[in-house]
Structure 1
């Protein structure tokens, strides 16, 4: 059956507006949880909002209050686990997550598997202070940790998806890949802000991967540009809010990296490294 072009455009507009309204409500729900004390940061609250939005788009119903609390506990726990591996303080990780809370949320088994895989990744983490090839190793390590964390949260949110399936979905062209790209942009921003701590601690990050900071910043800029490029992904109208989020987070990342490149160039008495476009 032939569908008029204007009908298709109207449906796409309707789906985009509907998904945007769904996302607004989800953001409000996530921020309400944040104000209650969990999760520990606004960024994690927005992560909860993203999965609540996907739940409505996929299944037509919102996550229950209990499920939202489960995701909040899970995100705070993951943040604490990563901070522990990096020997960082947990002041930004939210309230303490006890084994009892994990069991009450019925995610004890998922958390155990997450910790096992995270331990394997952290045990084989690449060294900092290398060259271009080492930067790629650090980038793949960063991506693997983000995919694992997203997969764990997606598994908990859906309730009917195994961890490997969720991780595999971050490589695809759907909504989890969009979330992965947003998360990687946030990871770059975090690495820029934590550079002064990560460098002396010898922690691998986008900025510490290379011995030369200007080189690391240029490679980071290129990586951020790649995460921002969503042209090959499915153009479904119902994920319009995620595309908007990716666009704005990518702009913020570009600004943060540009400012750090300018600062690095000023400290060295020369302009930022020339782009390899």
Structure 2
């Protein structure tokens, strides 16, 4: 009889712990969702501002605003948000220049001026040098599976570099190397990096023809037969969406939901590109 009572008490304790843990995750998820909504409202005016240049960059600022508030219990200041917007615009201009695409010179100079006034010359110089090194070593499109792997690694490195630069600026106490490592080590930044990679997959699926004619290395132009690139891209999308190894906490709920939605969009974009390819072949 004492043994039965002991077993019952142990089971009750386990049930109580499980309920408490789930309740904690639920409360943390609800709180982080409220923070995300508040950050979204906080960032809405940026949609009507000249900087940053696109709604996607506004959402990136909102994401970093949310992460900053979760870590520091306060929103980004307007000054820091303005600096982050300038960083995102600078990265877009730099990438456009390396891809031989149009980049407004006056906008670039104005962006550099804003960052120079913020005392970020050394970080920007390091970022641009690292980006230049990556771009000068980037693989050529039109290869086999190994070429796809090389291009995927190149695209991932560029994304980590860009996110690391913004993270180092937002946190204010990280060097660029540490911030880049955080995109793989820290759960929140890692999920954000996965979201960025899924966005790149969507962009590659939509701009396949332009990338192909421009000789740009993308997920879909990496291999000579498009069908092979589509299959490898589909697998990559599944890999970026897989976060089973990341600790499930309520704080990450908004990011997890966002990754799920963006992953579905990436899957749809790749599928539509596959259907267009089949239609072109008359299948």
TM bracket (short chain): over 0.9
Q: Partners in 2 of 1:82 and 1:42 — Cα distance?
A: 18
Listed one character per residue, the Cα deviations across residues 16-67 of structure 1 (whole Å, up to 9, x for unaligned) are 0110010111122223112112111111101001110001111111110101
State whether structure 2 residue 153 is matched by structure 1 residue 145.
no
Q: Partners in 2 of 1:122 and 1:30 — Cα distance?
A: 32
| Stretch of structure 1 that moved more, 136-145 or 23-32 | 23-32
Within the candidate set 105, 129, 132, 1:119 is matched to 132
Aligned residue in 2 for 1:195: 208
Within the candidate set 24, 34, 42, 2:37 is matched to 24
Listed one character per residue, the Cα deviations across residues 207-263 of structure 1 (whole Å, up to 9, x for unaligned) are 110111111111101100100001001212101100000000000000010000010
Query: Matched residue of 2:184: which SS?
Result: coil
Aligned residue in 2 for 1:250: 263
Aligned residue in 1 for 2:147: 134
Q: Where does structure 1 lack aligned partners over 5 or more consecutive residues?
A: 271-277
Listed one character per residue, the Cα deviations across residues 67-92 of structure 1 (whole Å, up to 9, x for unaligned) are 1001001000100000000011237x
State whether structure 2 residue 71 is matched by structure 1 residue 58.
yes
Q: Is the 8 A contact 1:74 1:153 kept in 2?
A: yes
Q: Partners in 2 of 1:246 and 1:99 — Cα distance?
A: 32
| Stretch of structure 1 that moved more, 2-11 or 103-112 | 2-11
Q: Partners in 2 of 1:57 and 1:94 — Cα distance?
A: 36
Task: Give 1:173 deviation, angstroms.
Answer: 5.1
Q: Is the 8 A contact 1:173 1:233 kept in 2?
A: no
Q: Partners in 2 of 1:37 and 1:145 — Cα distance?
A: 25
Q: Partners in 1 of 2:243 and 2:111 — Cα distance?
A: 38
Q: Partners in 2 of 1:14 and 1:98 — Cα distance?
A: 41
Deviating beyond 4 angstroms after TM superposition, the runs of 4 or more aligned structure 1 residues are 93-96
Q: Is the 8 A contact 2:89 2:111 kept in 1?
A: no
**RMSD (Å), alpha carbons:** 1.6
Aligned residue in 1 for 2:220: 207
Q: Partners in 2 of 1:131 and 1:206 — Cα distance?
A: 12
Alignment: residue pair count: 268
Q: Partners in 2 of 1:185 and 1:263 — Cα distance?
A: 20
State whether structure 2 residue 281 is matched by structure 1 residue 259.
no
Q: What's the TM-score, normalizing by structure 1? A: 0.93
Query: Matched residue of 1:53: which SS?
Result: helix
Aligned residue in 1 for 2:253: 240
Aligned residue in 2 for 1:160: 173
Listed one character per residue, the Cα deviations across residues 162-204 of structure 1 (whole Å, up to 9, x for unaligned) are 1111111122251111011000000111111221111111110
Q: Partners in 2 of 1:250 and 1:222 — Cα distance?
A: 12
State whether structure 2 residue 25 is matched by structure 1 residue 12.
yes
Q: Is the 8 A contact 1:39 1:94 kept in 2?
A: no
Q: Is the 8 A contact 2:90 2:112 kept in 1?
A: no
Determine which structure has more spread, i.e. the larger CA radius of gyration. Answer: 2
Query: Matched residue of 1:235: which SS?
Result: coil
Task: Give 1:95 deviation, angstroms.
Answer: 4.8
State whether structure 2 residue 61 is matched by structure 1 residue 48.
yes
